[in-house]
Amino acid sequence: MSLLKRCILFLFIFTFSLGLTPNTFADQLQMAQGDKARLEAELSSLEHEIAQKQRELERQKGQSVSLTRDISILTTQINKSKLDIQAKNLTIKKLGGEIVDKNKKIQSLTEKIESEKESLAQLIRKDRELDDMSILSIALSRASISEMYGDVQSFSSIKNAVKNSVDVIRGVRTETQTQKKTLEEKKDKETDVKVALENEKKRVEQNESEKKKLLSISKNKESEYQKVLAEKAKRKAQILSALFNLRDTGAIPFGRALEYANTASKVTGVRPAFILAIITQESNLGTDQGSCYVTDMSTGAGVSSRSNKQFKNVMKPSRDVPPFVRITTELGRDPAKTLVSCPIGGIGWGGAMGPAQFIPSTWAGMSKKISAALGKATPDPWNAPDAFMASALFLKELGGVNGSYTAEIKAACKYYGTGGSACAYGKQVMTKALKIQTTMIDPLQN
């Protein structure tokens, strides 16, 4: 077989390198699309029912407070949650199928690249052999001009085949990267739905328990129901008045902290419970790691405010000391008497400021955005409203919006400086966010 024919055969074989006949592939694709369409139809139906339950819930909440009304609200909430659980299970099933499909596509594309590389290597070897031959030697080795012309055409075809093969590999690599990115997004979405599903199940259990308690009260004993309302009001008051600790500044009532978080959330789209969890985590780190004073502005050395332990690395002098001095001076603070974080574990650099724990250089870089959001000329890292807004703005930049579990935990890890999607800091923040949402924010809204 001539070299040109082998090239043509190679291109034909490459076209079917996925290992499936056209009919088999079409059948599988049709089945997958049919299953996806069925799941999407079921999801659409459930979403319609959920919307109906939400409208019913809003109507019930508009009624005057009574035992019957509260039982009806809980019943509707439970039914809505159960529909939501069904929808999430369908979504997980749909995503599972899509993830399997993406993995298969990536595997096929990877095999396609390897096969093309092997064929390309053969073509390159032939191309190099031809490069070593001159037109004169080709002419002298052939009996006729027509034979020589045929060989020249074959050589040209090989060079074109090499170029086309390289182009194919580049294209397949680009497609592979696109498929991998889509796969990662679907895996994140699957994780988000699974986390939301577990939270919804817990909400159903809580509402079932509360409904059971209300049903145990006789309709003729309205006074008993009034006691339940009084207990609920007392619990709300306790939540609002509970002190919310802030690093390197005084604690504030939770009600005020929630107000700051809600304000920041409206500006940024970052969930209030997530903002509060970040601030809580940073305050806990302050308890664990302590806070320091910078005693030498030229070297960044300092001392622990609790143990008097000396540190050579409280604040990075080249990066953070100049903006730190500028920030504190503008606020009328003495930089030598202003608390900042100590280096964690004694290594690296400390120097983070206030409840949100921004290093001075980061705060300086974001100060215009913080000022614009707050409507004030000079934001203060140690002032609670400023710190909450700064934290929310930074979390937004890191992608922690829309209440997605995977987006939030990734943003938390970046906030801490480690990156990744499953750092210990991020997991602790997400645990705190769930607790704040379910034990503090939700009871205030019911």
The 10s digit of each residue's pLDDT in 237-287 is 999 999 999 999 889 999 999 999 999 999 999 999 999 999 999 988 777
Q: What is the pLDDT of residues 345-354, one digit of tens each?
A: 777 899 999 9
CB 321 within 8 A of CB 300: yes
Q: What pLDDT is attached to residue 29? A: 47
Q: pLDDT (tens digit, 9 = 90+) per residue, 381-413?
A: 999 999 999 999 999 999 999 889 999 999 999
Tokens standing for 411?
Answer: 């943003």
How would DSSP label each residue in 256-306?
Answer: HHHHHHHHHHHHH---HHHHHHHHHHHHHHHHHH-EEEEEETTTTEEEETT
Residue 341 · residue 350 · CB < 8 Å: yes
Q: What is the pLDDT of residue 444?
A: 92
Where in the chain is CATH 1.10.530.10? 241-293+350-445
Distances (CA, A) of 380 to 62, 245, 357, 387: 42, 17, 12, 7
Which residue numbers in the chain have pLDDT < 50? Answer: 1-26, 29, 136, 139, 143, 145, 148-149, 152
Do the Cβ atoms of 111 and 119 come closer than 8 Å? no
What gap in Å lies between CA 432 and CA 277, rounded to an integer?
5
Side chain identity at residue 379, one-letter code:
P
Q: CA of 256: how far to CAs of 203, 276, 352, 395, in Å? A: 26, 11, 23, 20
The end-to-end CA distance of the chain, in Å, is: 81
Q: Which CATH number fits domain 241-293+350-445: 3.90.650.10, 1.10.530.10, 1.10.10.10, 3.20.20.150?
A: 1.10.530.10
CA distances from 390 to 23, 257, 266, 325, 357 (A): 58, 14, 13, 19, 10
pLDDT of residue 19: 42
